[in-house]
């Protein structure tokens, strides 16, 4: 999802950088954009896929909160509070390109995003909202990590 959205955006940025020539068949970018745009919807619209992924992550978050160990792909949820407190050990520019440190940073970012939306879901269901309805109310936050939380 992330890759196909960004690739399509990059093709469009390249076309725009060429000005009016970006539409020329000589540039090939208009055809490339047209041919690649389908990648964003092979298995359904990316937004729907993001929401399905969000539902899965909230489910995993709630299970982890109840002490159920999660698989490696979402292992950062097993001790989410500790993961959220991580501080990068990077001291130089070269330090930030170490794969292990980048993965730890990514885990920290994911832990923050998933726990924020997960807690929103927990709060909604605590107010007697059905789980599926709570997923719908959290839908904007599930498909965009920069969206404001749903008011209770």
pLDDT tens per residue, range 8-43: 889 999 989 998 888 888 888 888 888 888 877 766
Catalytic residue among 43, 81, 119, 133: 43
- Domain range annotation of the chain: 2-40, 46-143
pLDDT digits (tens, 9 = 90+) for 45-56: 667 777 788 889
- φ/ψ (deg, to 5) at 43: -100, 20
Quickly list DSSP for 38-49: GGGSTTS-HHHH
Q: In this structure, what token pair is assigned to residue 89?
A: 């050990």
Measured in whole angstroms, the distance separating CA 44 from the mean position of its chain's CA atoms is 16
What single-letter DSSP state applies at residue 130? -
What pTM was computed for the model? 0.67
* Contacting residues for 18 by C-beta, under 8 A, at least 6 apart: 24, 27, 29
12 flagged as catalytic? no
């Amino acid at each position: 999802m992330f890759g196909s959205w960004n690739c399509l955006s990059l093709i469009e940025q390249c076309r725009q950088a060429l000005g009016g020539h970006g539409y020329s068949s000589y540039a090939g970018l208009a055809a490339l954009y047209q041919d690649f745009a389908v990648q964003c919807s092979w298995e359904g619209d990316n937004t729907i896929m993001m929401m399905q992924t969000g539902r899965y992550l909230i489910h995993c978050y709630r299970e982890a909160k109840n002490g159920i160990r999660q698989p490696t792909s979402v292992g950062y949820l097993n001790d989410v509070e500790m993961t959220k407190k991580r501080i990068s050990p990077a001291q130089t520019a070269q330090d930030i390109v170490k794969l292990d440190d980048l993965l730890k940073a990514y885990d920290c970012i994911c832990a923050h995003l998933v726990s924020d939306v997960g807690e929103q879901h927990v709060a909604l269901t605590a107010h007697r909202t059905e789980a599926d309805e709570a997923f719908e109310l959290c839908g904007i936050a599930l498909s965009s990590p920069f969206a404001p939380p749903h008011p209770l």
